[in-house]
Chain A
């Protein structure tokens, strides 16, 4: 059974770069059945899609975050990663990684538990 786990610093200073990694277990990140996505949720607010990547490296990002976001994949480690530069307090959120099933229009069928990232001044 597929499982995902986010990891990375819980505290990032304003103007610096946020870096998170999602480790996939119970399956291969090189599966043709999945894209791999990042989603965030600011405190008390709704879900916001950040970006997604295929094992080949093909990736897409939210237009509103595209200039600051890089999503990458490391098939040798069964991991994918998120980098967001020039962070501000508005980037404080719970960050989730999720698998997106290609056959069913990228429905996010497995989620990690989430990791809280706080941007401090």
Chain B
């Protein structure tokens, strides 16, 4: 089965750029989705198909995907961006999540 690898935690200074990676074998050939989950809340889709933002998601959130790594980039990080972030792909009818990354804004 396909596996996705994320760092357990990422820290970013307020106002700087955070990058959260999602590794997988030739993940660049797949479409990656990203979710934000704040404590006690349901996940929210923030990026779909590698780099597309749903309506209502700030332009500060962007994504890329190439080779063996997909990346979620959060520009001008704010305190409200502190959350867990999960990547997800579709694999032979199964939906696969990465283990999640806790983003801390310092």
Contact = CB atoms under 8 A, between A and B. Distances in A.
B100 interface: yes
Contacts of B14: none
A111 B94 contact: no
B24 interface: no
Interface residues of B, number: 27
Contacts of B95: 37, 39, 49, 52, 100, 106, 108
Contact of A47 (B43, B48, B49): B43
Contact of A106 (B52, B86, B90): B90
Interface string B65-106: 000000000000000000010101110011111111000000
A112 interface: yes
B86 A47 contact: yes
Main secondary structure of the interface of A (DSSP, over half): strand
A60 B54 CA distance: 26
A105 B42 contact: no
A33 to B, nearest CB: 14
A105 B43 contact: no
Interface string B23-44: 0000000010101010001111
Interface of A: 37, 39, 46-49, 52, 60, 62-63, 96, 100-101, 104-109, 111-114
